[in-house]
Structure 1
């Protein structure tokens, strides 16, 4: 049976890809930069974060989907910038991303840094230029900046680099990943809530859902790094252990990590159950089901 998530993906991923491809062509007139930016954005990502945003809009205010599309695309730009910089020699020094050479391997380190810088700033330009009401645009810019910035994703990446070779406690590891991975997932859900004008009670439940889902996503990623092959991952397997990174299997063992994943997914599902009676949460629950597979 086709799930609501599969339907959303079938409808919105082509629309997102078309929007991204079209708008990136008009980004800059320099020789290499647009190619470097487009290369990583169009490299075949799952579009998870923009889909999460659109799923919240679809759940609470489906008529706003067309207006929300540029904001969803902006999230993908920011996510892609983070991957480009994550792969750099000064960070994770990866050669593959989504089965293709990483940006700095394709275009050189300097152009990769600039491609990431361009995508980061372009994300906020697209938010500012969207057709959403002015107050909503300001809210979206603020939400994305806070969650992606030095209190959120960037802080998580800093903690990740500083603690390589050290052993973190479970609360410290959870805090690191709530920032590094979870913050942008949280931003995506909250941005959807703002577009849909969700009330405070529902926003609180969605915030808990996003936090638990983001944690589960990272735990699953850590488990796959241990259990999957390079071909399956589209990037080098076992790289976390080689880089002496803090991971859930490294701290809890593989079975302990799997239990932590189960617990986080249960927390996400419980949070959706706190939404106001009458809200159809099937689409958002489909994201949880996807992580459980």
Structure 2
């Protein structure tokens, strides 16, 4: 990420803190794996797509940890952005990461520029409304939660985008790969929620750095 001496330093430090050292990088790896399976004839574009997807994921985590949502003080084994830099900087950092994701992919040196527009459409749809991460987070503001829709939107949408974008970056059919991403995303969300709701899978809790019984503490009873 480009840095500037004239930009707000707390914001720049917060952006770096949100992205590095990072987690498992499952979504960008999935994007690159699908691109490779489809021939990956434009690696610069597939790498940019993978990077953008990870930046959007990091943005969602920053916002998820805010006091109005999970109110989490720890993320990926270190203080969350809101814990380290405060709520106001965390809101701005999450917003900046979303913009940075699209700046990154739009500025890459691609061989196939005609693939860019549908690729951007796929990625944008996965984070917005009516069926992206934003909508998934919004289910936590509803009195009644549609569990399957919540899982699909909050987690499955970006997994689905990862597989679709990997295919699109390589010039392949995105629809062929979307179901794989959707299934993987839903499985991941179920595993995470099961840990949070049962307290039994301590090893998984350590890996995702999310305390067991976290959902009960927040009043989320999903199972």
Separation (CA, whole Å) in 1 of partners of 2:168 and 2:28 = 14
Verify: 1:149 aligned to 2:110, yes or no. no
Match of 1:136 in 2: 115
CA offset at residue 232 of structure 1?
Answer: 4.7
Q: Secondary structure at the match of 1:181?
A: helix
Which of residues 74, 78, 89 in structure 2 aligns to 1:96? Answer: 74
Equivalent runs, 1:212-227 vs 2, <5 Å? 212-225=183-196, 226=198, 227=200
Q: 1:62 and 2:40 equivalent?
A: yes
Distance 1:68 1:31, change over 3 A: same
The list of structure 1 runs, each at least 4 consecutive aligned residues, that deviate by more than 4 angstroms after superposition, is: none
The aligned counterpart of 2:53 is: 75
Return 5+ residue gaps in structure 1 as ranges: 1-22, 251-293
Q: Is residue 135–residue 154 contact of structure 2 (8 Å, CA) maintained in 1?
A: yes
Counterpart of 2:171 in structure 1 is: 197
Give, in whole Å, the separation in 1 of the partners of 2:210 and 2:123: 27
- Comparing 25-34 and 87-96, the one that deviates more: 25-34
Structure 1 CA distance for aligned equivalents of residues 57 and 170 of structure 2: 22
Partners of 2:14 and 2:77 in 1: how far apart?
16
What SS class does the counterpart of residue 240 from structure 1 fall into?
Answer: helix
Q: Bigger radius of gyration, 1 or 2?
A: 1
- Measure the CA separation in 1 of the matches of 2:184 and 2:85: 34
Give the TM-score normalised by the residue count of structure 2.
Answer: 0.90
1:44 alignment partner in structure 2: 22
Unaligned runs of 5+ in 2: none
Aligned pairs, number: 217
After superposition, give the CA deviation of every residue in 1:82-126 in whole Å (9 maximum; x if it has no partner): 000000001110111111111011001111111111100111111
Residue 231 of structure 1 deviates from its aligned partner by 4.1
The Cα of 1:28 is off from its aligned counterpart by 7.2
TM score, norm. by length of structure 1: 0.69
> In structure 2, how many angstroms separate the alpha carbons of the residues matched to 1:101 and 1:25?
22
Distance 1:92 1:139, change over 3 A: same
- After the TM superposition, which residues 1-293 of structure 1 pair with which residues of structure 2 at under 5 Å, given as runs? 23-25=1-3, 29-132=7-110, 133-151=112-130, 152-163=132-143, 166=144, 168=145, 172-199=146-173, 203-225=174-196, 226=198, 227-229=200-202, 231-247=206-222, 250=223
The 1:217–1:29 alpha-carbon spacing in structure 2 relative to 1, beyond 3 Å, is: same
Take 2:141 and 2:171, find their aligned partners in 1: how far apart are those partners?
37
Distance 1:55 1:224 in 2: 27
